[in-house]
Amino acid sequence: MQFVFDNHVLDPDRRELHRGSAAVAVEPQVFDLLLHLVQNRDRVVSKDDLIASVWRGRIVSDSTLASRINAARRAIGDNGDAQRLIRTVSRRGVRFVGSVDARADAAVARLAPTVRTERPGIAVLPFMNANGEPEQDYFADGIAEDIITELSRLRWFLVIARNSSFTYKAKPVPMKQIGEELGVGYLVEGSVRKSGERVRITAQLNEVATGKQLWAERYDRQLSDVFAIQDEITEAVVAAIEPQVWANESFRAQRKAPENLDAWDLVMRALPHYWRVTKEDHRLARQLLERAIAVDPNYAQALAVFAVSIMFGAHMGWENLATAVPEAESAALGAVRADGEDPWAHLALATIHLHRGRFDDSLAAFEMALSLNPNFSLALGYYGLVLSAVGRWQQGADAARRALRLSPRDPFSAIFSGVAAYAEFVGRNYEEAVRLAREGVRQRPEFVGGYRILTAAAAMAGDSELARSALQELRRTQPDISLAWVESQMLVRGTAERAHYLEAFRRAGLE
């Protein structure tokens, strides 16, 4: 069923909104709100109803609710003054008052041809039950449904609803045809095979346009707890898919002519530079993100990645903190205003709170980002840094190691190793800190933070030779490093821990 109103077509299955023949980009939460209003157009919808239906009972502020209603109005050519389609009813709620014609899909297909939106679209097909036993269908379907649910948390992608992707169950339809019919560029498919008390699950990510397999993995598990296995596989698949799509979208953006780049393309070009962890790449990422924000000043992802990147650069010593923090804070607040449900926006705020010494606020912002997307490995890794900075080093080490397990091929794995090394340093486990720091700089030879913790941990472990060589590499990657710089930039709460960190660098020979 599709809903036609005021030259618009709202398609719940494909999660698309069209104005005439043109696709309208709509954030997932705004789409859900608009759909709920249209489906309940015969009554006034209260604030509590919206929170229960759209936010699934999660507490949200009045300003967040108002911003989403305004965004829904803008998407359909309405506004708060005219209220032609979405009307506010004082002290009661809001109601969709436009005339709606609910039609079968085929009746409106000619009005709204499938058009690729800015964000890449992903469809998860039903996983094949390789045993052919009907009683095992529920498990295969459950895996696919959970992956759809978790992918939907990622604000970067348009994820096709189950009702649409599951229409292809047990049908030999070519990949390109499915992509065209669903309007997506990527398909996730897989299979489940049970043998005795073991289960083998395969999953793969395919690019529709080329038919190329971008990623594939196989998981063999003991079938002791079906639901635990389902959760574990879902987590692993979702965590792997996100960086693979980013990498492929970045490759596509690199092939576009500079004059044809939009905000999405510019962010995709910026991310690989951000991940390389070098001063020159940081500069290039900043330039691309600034261009993306110039193209679309309200683009949440561009603002959030810009803020996170600037604060990471400040931590590495590539940015002047006096100017970087206010600049990043402005961008982070803009990202939250543009999309308060974007985990990257809350990650950005968390890093700013950390650099301002607001540790409790930083922890709360990290926890908000992770509640919005529990599979957000970058937020999880950084969260470990703050936990360690406030003395909760065991939890910090666990968070960083979970980020490594969650996304073992993540471009930021070196950073997660560095955070885990710092946690072990805080816990006085110097040998383990050395091992983890070495792994970080092995992966990223220009990783300044890795050399810092390697220098400190080696010195406290009594390995003066390693401390000297690590300090030499630290000076190469950060020529202005000094005890005064370390003291001014330390992200740690408590005088004892500050003294511990400084003593390590003194033993290494830093002045």
Residues of the chain within CATH 1.25.40.10 domain(s) are 258-374, 390-511
Q: What is the pLDDT of residue 110?
A: 39
The C-alpha atoms of residue 205 and residue 187 are separated, in whole angstroms, by 6
Averaged pLDDT of the chain: 86
E strands of 145-272, at which residues?
Answer: 158-159, 186-195, 198-207, 213-222
Q: What is the pLDDT of residue 118?
A: 56
Q: Is the pLDDT of residue 109 over 50?
A: no
Asked if residues 310 and 319 have their Cβ atoms less than 8 Å apart, the reply is yes
Q: Are strands 158-159 and 22-24 parallel, antiparallel or unpaired?
A: unpaired
The answer for 510, left when phi > 0, alpha when psi is -120 to 50, beta otherwise, is beta
| CATH ID of 2-108, from 3.40.50.2000, 3.40.50.720, 1.10.150.450, 1.10.10.10 | 1.10.10.10
Q: Which is it for the CA torsion 507, 413, 374, 313, positive or negative?
A: positive
Look at the domain 121-254 and name its fold.
Answer: Rossmann fold (3.40.50)
Alpha helices per DSSP H over 317-463? 321-338, 343-355, 359-372, 377-389, 393-406, 413-426, 430-443, 448-460
Q: What is the pLDDT of residue 503?
A: 93
Enter the CATH code of domain 390-511. 1.25.40.10
Instruction: Tell me the pLDDT band of 243, cut-offs 50, 70 and 90.
Output: confident
Residues of the chain within CATH 1.10.10.10 domain(s) are 2-108
Q: Is the pLDDT of residue 387 over 80?
A: yes
Please write the tens of the pLDDT for every residue from 416-463: 999 999 999 999 999 999 999 999 999 989 888 899 999 999 999 999
Torsion of CA 410, 249, 211, 109, to 10 degrees: 130
The C-alpha atoms of residue 436 and residue 281 are separated, in whole angstroms, by 24
What is the CA angle 253-254-255, rounded to 5?
90
Instruction: Tell me the pLDDT band of 104, cut-offs 50, 70 and 90.
Output: low
Q: What is the pLDDT of residue 511?
A: 86
Q: What is the pLDDT of residue 486?
A: 86
Mean pLDDT of 147-162: 82
Mean pLDDT of 217-221: 89
Q: Are strands 86-89 and 22-24 parallel, antiparallel or unpaired?
A: unpaired
Q: What is the pLDDT of residue 306?
A: 96
> Among 174, 119, 170, which residue's Cα sits nearest to residue 141?
170
Asked if residues 199 and 221 have their Cβ atoms less than 8 Å apart, the reply is yes
Residue 243: CB atoms within 10 A of its CB come to 19
Please write the tens of the pLDDT for every residue from 312-344: 998 888 988 889 999 999 999 999 888 888 899
Residues of the chain within CATH 3.40.50.10610 domain(s) are 121-254
Look at the domain 258-374 and name its fold.
Answer: 1.25.40
Q: What is the pLDDT of residue 344?
A: 92
Q: Is the pLDDT of residue 305 over 50?
A: yes
Instruction: Tell me the pLDDT band of 263, cut-offs 50, 70 and 90.
Output: confident
Q: Distance from CA of residue 49 to its chain's centroid?
A: 28
Q: Is the pLDDT of residue 364 over 70?
A: yes
